[in-house]
Structure 1
């Protein structure tokens, strides 16, 4: 029974690994430090929305045996609309992931720095971060092997390490269980919390994960009879991811105020209160969050580019490899030399803000097409949930774009 369960673990943990990156760790840390347990309900909402959309993406991949970007190419008939959609998707996912990759690698390095210090090599006026290079090499080797099963096992192991690290940190802080349960089920909107609430939802419901999940699901499962395994895999992994995010909020809640802007600061802040174990657990968690996102972001970009441009999406194909090598290479370069291109990240935020509601809307539309899904198309209940989430994604998209231009 247990052996069968592990055999049918699929891309769910990879999806969880992708959305729990350094950005999610940071926003959860700030939510806990600034608002205590009050915003835990927002994570429950995020988890529900993610399960609904990711289940649709996985079902589409298994039944059609195509990736989401391939479906977009074949189903949008208007050449103009198709071109606009492809340009927007490539901009948001490929360029966006290149921009965020430096943050993923830097986040992983930050976790290691808390334990090992910050080894730097100086080459003339350039200062190179050794830990960023190590993470980049590890990600490169794993992706270059090009074996889905190896990738899956390593990422599942890293997700388990990350989950245990953050859960143990939360347990060490001796949280108030009654208050946690109340905050999970009773929505509260403390003063100045709205942007943090939107941030918690926005870092969990991620556009590139929809593309990644559809592509990985069709790689893992070939038969419609596997849909039950895919559904369980999605629910378990995303719920686990939500618990990890909540653990970070709970850990951060134990510190009142102070100069805490990210998980590395939180690790240092927890040490005097709860001992060195808290610092080490949190640092390991941040390292695992950074390295898993550093692997899944280039992988997602390669799947998206291959689907949009009609290339072979085999992990070992030269074009597929070229895309993830460029994304990973830029991430390592920018992280190693400490370069932060605010303009590129702003561009990525704008395109992601536009893309999320468009892709969610397209996904719901496709999931109702009998010609593609037959008897496996959306039920009325799935459509109701999907439309509710679509409204949330539109709100998130508008907020994201307005915040980039400092209009809110």
Structure 2
């Protein structure tokens, strides 16, 4: 039977945003293909966590925040937990939305130059608004399949154009090493792939596609294929960046310009198309995730057409456009988002593992021993990542 690609493709599109593209670019520039193993590890962790979130969503037919709200019985703790979730996801995504729209804007600059730069955020914002406002979930799904397809072809073609050394690529994937000064880059690669809000987004979206345990097999295939494809794109960016001599590149557009003299205009344009697609997809999924979380927490009726649901994603979208259009300095807000997400990842991972082990919630579909071994290993990784994220943010501030 043909695999039904669905919510997983939105998850992949969400984590391949401008932040991931930039992190992968810097990893390739500074350390070549040596850190490909960190991306492979991130993909495995993402598949495991997203599968659990999708399974929880299908079996309970609730969003992740909705299950948290039901299962946490101590009032003050439930309120605190939901406040942390709301703050990190809604306010955090509002902060990062500027980066998503900014990434798509850079893609437009490759083709149309910087002369109309002030209009690009509004164009991207309008595209995202129209898709979110007019599209049903099924329509969005089709749009994302197309956009992720374009993004994948663009970045993979860029990597192929550079003619990578296959032996070095294989060593980077399967022979882990931690070069001097690479720890924060490894954390960035994991942190941009294992995304907390994707767990909420996935648990909510699977209910739009499957309403019974009969859909679990398709959901697992969808998660595996989509996240693997997203990981392949991330690896392609690392490989492309590794081909550039020197270590002076600081952004993906520096990468595009660096590829031009070596490999011609084609590499630059493929990179521009890929960055535009990455920015647009993340600019749509971040507001969508925020709206789903708010809907679960406040018990709004299910459906993307609900007024309050739309109001949340509209506010997130407007915040991103406004920051870019009026030169508002988003540093303090982004700093809060980083701290909140650093705390949220291990926090949510703990509750996710707890919930998928409860017979009363999952019945016969709770975790088996091997799933728990993988989950606990990833939980330890998430905890270390959370602590390192906090240290990094406060270190930057000093």
Normalised by the length of structure 1, the TM-score is 0.96
Q: Which residue of 2 aligns with 1:84?
A: 80
Q: Which residue of 1 aligns with 2:173?
A: 184
Q: Is the 8 A contact 1:313 1:320 kept in 2?
A: no
Q: Which residue of 2 aligns with 1:286?
A: 275
Shift of 1:260: 1.3
- The within-5 A match list for 1:240-259 is 240-259=229-248
Q: Which residue of 2 aligns with 1:32?
A: 28
1:121-154 C-alpha deviation (Å, 9 max, x unpaired) = xxxxxxx721111110000001001400111100
Alignment RMSD? 1.1
Cα distance in 2 for residues equivalent to 1:110 and 1:337: 17
Q: Which residue of 2 aligns with 1:356?
A: 345
**Superposition misfits of 4+ residues, deviation over 6 angstroms:** none
For structure 1, the residue ranges without an aligned partner over 5 or more in a row are: 121-127
Cα distance in 2 for residues equivalent to 1:14 and 1:104: 15
Task: Give secondary structure in 2 for the equivalent of 1:405.
Answer: helix
| Corresponding residue to 2:187 among 172, 179, 198 | 198
Cα distance in 1 for residues equivalent to 2:8 and 2:72: 28
1:159-209 C-alpha deviation (Å, 9 max, x unpaired) = 000000000000000000111011100001111000000110010000000
Q: Which residue of 1 aligns with 2:53?
A: 57
1:248-307 C-alpha deviation (Å, 9 max, x unpaired) = 000000012253111111101100000000000011101100000000000000000111
Shift of 1:235: 0.4
Shift of 1:313: 3.3
Q: Which residue of 2 aligns with 1:9?
A: 5
Q: Does 1:345 align with 2:324?
A: no
Cα distance in 2 for residues equivalent to 1:246 and 1:339: 33
Shift of 1:210: 0.1
Q: Does 1:218 align with 2:207?
A: yes
| Corresponding residue to 1:228 among 207, 217, 225 | 217
More divergent stretch after superposition (214-223 vs 51-60): 214-223
Cα distance in 2 for residues equivalent to 1:381 and 1:171: 37
1:78-128 C-alpha deviation (Å, 9 max, x unpaired) = 0011011011001100000000000000000001101210233xxxxxxx7
Q: Which residue of 2 aligns with 1:48?
A: 44
Q: Is the 8 A contact 1:35 1:190 kept in 2?
A: yes
For structure 2, the residue ranges without an aligned partner over 5 or more in a row are: none
Shift of 1:365: 0.1
Q: Which residue of 1 aligns with 2:115?
A: 119
Q: Is the 8 A contact 2:30 2:247 kept in 1?
A: no
How many aligned residue pairs are there?
Answer: 397
Q: Does 1:321 align with 2:310?
A: yes
Cα distance in 1 for residues equivalent to 2:46 and 2:317: 26
Cα distance in 2 for residues equivalent to 1:115 and 1:267: 12
Task: Give secondary structure in 1 for the equivalent of 2:395.
Answer: coil
Cα distance in 2 for residues equivalent to 1:385 and 1:79: 31
Task: Give secondary structure in 2 for the equivalent of 1:362.
Answer: helix
Cα distance in 2 for residues equivalent to 1:82 and 1:344: 25
Task: Give secondary structure in 2 for the equivalent of 1:406.
Answer: helix
Cα distance in 2 for residues equivalent to 1:34 and 1:377: 42
| Corresponding residue to 1:148 among 137, 142, 149 | 137
